[in-house]
Amino acid sequence: MADVTILTGDVLTFDGSPFDGDPTESVRMHEAVALEHGRVAAVGTRDDLTAQFPQAARVDHPGKLIMAGFVDAHVHYPQTAMIASWGKRLIDWLNSYTFPEEMKFASPEYAAEISNRYLDLTAAHGTTTMCSFATIHPESVDAFFEAAQSRGQRVVAGKTCMDRNAPEGLRDTAQTGYDQSAALLQRWHGVDRISYAITPRFSPTSTPEQLEAMGALWSENPGCLMQTHLSEQTDEIEWVKGLFPDARDYLDTYEQFGLLGAGGLYGHAIHLEPRERDRLREVDASLVHCPTSNTFIGSGLFDMAGLMAEGQRIGLATDTGGGSSFSMLRTMAAAYEIGQLRGVPLHSAQLLWLATLGSARSLRMDDKIGNIAPGMEADLVVLDLASTPAIAQRSAVAKDLWEAVFPTIMMGDDRAVTEVWIAGRQVSF
C-alpha cells in the first residue's frame, strides 16, 4: 500500500452535466481521494480511505478545492512566445505574428524549447491535458510529444497542414501533408498517453486537394480526432465563400471532403448557419469555445446557451496564442462574461464542468480524464480559494461552495494553483 497517496480537502466530482437541470445537482463533494499507479483508486471520507489504505502517504489540503485537472481543447503551442501580440484581426494577425513565429519550428531545438516552456506554463495554471495544433514541420510534433511523454502527460496534437495562402517556407503540399501526417500518426498515436489529431489548419490555407487528402487519412484512421477552425470571423467566412464558390456554407468546405464527423473538433464556431448547426449536431461533432481569443481578436460572441440547448457537444479552450492567457480560470471568466453579454450567465458548476469533463468529452476522453472517479487517470489540481487578499476577503463571507469558488474563477490565476498531479505524480513548478 506504500505506493498509494491520499489527498484530503474538498474533493469535487461530477455525476452528470450541469447543463441538464439545476447545475448544482450534478456535483458531489467528498473529503478525500486515493491515487494508486497513476489512477484514482477511491473517493470517499477521510476515515474510510485511511482505513482502506492504512500505509498510504497522506497530503492534507484543509479548505482547498481538489478537482480534475483542467482540459484545454484547442491550443496552438507554437504561438507561446507571441501570445498577447497587439491589435489585429484574424487574417492580419496570422500574417503579422503567427506565421513568422511558426517558421522557426523547422528547428528541432527551438521546437523542443517552446514545447517544454508551454507545458511548464500550463502546468503552473493547472492544465493537465490539451489538444494542440503544431506547425507544418514534423519536428514540431515530435518535440511536443517527446516533452509530454517525458512528463507522463495525456496530450493530443497534430502536424498543421497548409498548402496555400501561407508564406514560402510554411507550406506543404497535399501529398507531403498526407505522407508526413500519416507517418507521425503511425509513430505516435496510442503511445503512452499520446493521441494524434489530423490537422488541416482551416479551409483558406488548404487547397481542395489537400482537404481531400486529409479526409482520406481520417477515413483510414477513424479512431483519430480531426481538428480545424470554423466560422471564427465574418471576414474569414467571406474569404471562404470566395475560395469555395460552390460550397453551401463554411462547414461544407469540410463536409464535401470527408472532414465532418464524430471525432471532429471545430474551433470557435461563432457565426454558424442553421444548416451548419443541424449537421454538427447530427454527426455529434465537437465545438470548442475560445472566449479570450474571441474577445482579443474581436471575433464575436459564442452562443453557448443556444448550442447547448440543441444538444451540441462543447469544449472550452484558451486558444493560445490568439487567446490572451494560458489560464483556464481566466478562460472560464471570459466564458462567463460572454454569457452575460448574450443574456445567459453561466453557473460556476457549468464553468468548472466545461473546463474539465466537458472538454474531455469534446475530445472523446471523458472515460479517462476530466473527472475524479475510481479508474480514471489521476490528473488533479488543488485550488486555493483564498489565494489573494482580494479573493480571500470575498470568499470569507461566502454562504456556500459556489459563492466561495466564483471569485477564484473570476479573479484567480496561477497563484490559486496549490498543487498539480499528472498521472498520480505531483508536478513541480
Please say which residue of 343, 362, 381 terminates a domain.
Answer: 362
In a shared domain, residues 205 and 248? yes
Gap between the Cα atoms of 312 and 101, Å rounded: 34
In a shared domain, residues 300 and 389? no
Gap between the Cα atoms of 120 and 79, Å rounded: 15
> Under the phi-then-psi rule, with left for phi > 0, alpha for psi from -120 to 50, and beta for the rest, what region is 361?
alpha
Please say which residue of 322, 340, 362 terminates a domain.
Answer: 362
Q: Give the pLDDT score at 93.
A: 76
Q: How many domains does the chain have?
A: 2
In a shared domain, residues 220 and 157? yes
In a shared domain, residues 343 and 384? no
Report phi then psi at 261, rounded to 5. 175, 175
| pLDDT of 50 above 90 | yes
* Nearest-10 crossing angle of helices 138-151, 108-124: 40
In a shared domain, residues 112 and 147? yes
Q: Tell me the whole-structure pTM to 2 decimals.
A: 0.97
Backbone CA torsion sign across 214, 215, 219, 222: positive
**CA angle, 161 then 192 then 260, to 5°:** 35
In a shared domain, residues 52 and 127? no
Could you list the beta-strand ranges (E) of 37-184: 39-44, 57-68, 70-76, 127-133, 155-158, 160-161
Stretch 292-318: mean pLDDT: 96
The residue range of the domain holding 50 is: 4-69+371-426
In a shared domain, residues 45 and 116? no
- Which tens digit of pLDDT belongs to each residue from 377-397? 999 999 999 999 999 999 999
* Nearest-10 crossing angle of helices 208-220, 174-188: 20
- Which tens digit of pLDDT belongs to each residue from 334-362? 999 999 999 999 999 999 999 999 999 99
Average pLDDT value for the chain: 96
In a shared domain, residues 14 and 129? no
Residue 200 pLDDT class (50, 70, 90 cuts): very high
Q: Environment class of residue 38 by beta-carbon count within 10 Å: exposed (0-12), middle (13-18) or buried (19+)?
A: middle
Distances (CA, A) of 49 to 165, 224, 294, 372: 58, 38, 44, 15
Q: Give the pLDDT score at 405.
A: 98
In a shared domain, residues 285 and 419? no
In a shared domain, residues 52 and 88? no
Report phi then psi at 34, rounded to 5. -105, 135
In a shared domain, residues 150 and 81? yes
Q: Give the pLDDT score at 427.
A: 97
Q: Give the pLDDT score at 359.
A: 98
Q: Give the pLDDT score at 1.
A: 42
In a shared domain, residues 329 and 410? no
- Which tens digit of pLDDT belongs to each residue from 88-142? 777 787 888 888 899 999 999 999 999 999 999 999 999 999 999 999 999 999 9
Stretch 47-54: mean pLDDT: 97
The domain that holds 29 is classified in CATH as 2.30.40.10
| pLDDT of 158 above 50 | yes
Q: Give the pLDDT score at 235.
A: 94
Tell me how crowded residue 106 is: count the other CB atoms within 10 A of its CB: 16
Q: Environment class of residue 15 by beta-carbon count within 10 Å: exposed (0-12), middle (13-18) or buried (19+)?
A: exposed
Please say which residue of 362, 389, 417 terminates a domain.
Answer: 362
The grid coordinates listed for 78 are 507554437
The domain that holds 117 is classified in CATH as 3.20.20.140
Gap between the Cα atoms of 303 and 169, Å rounded: 37
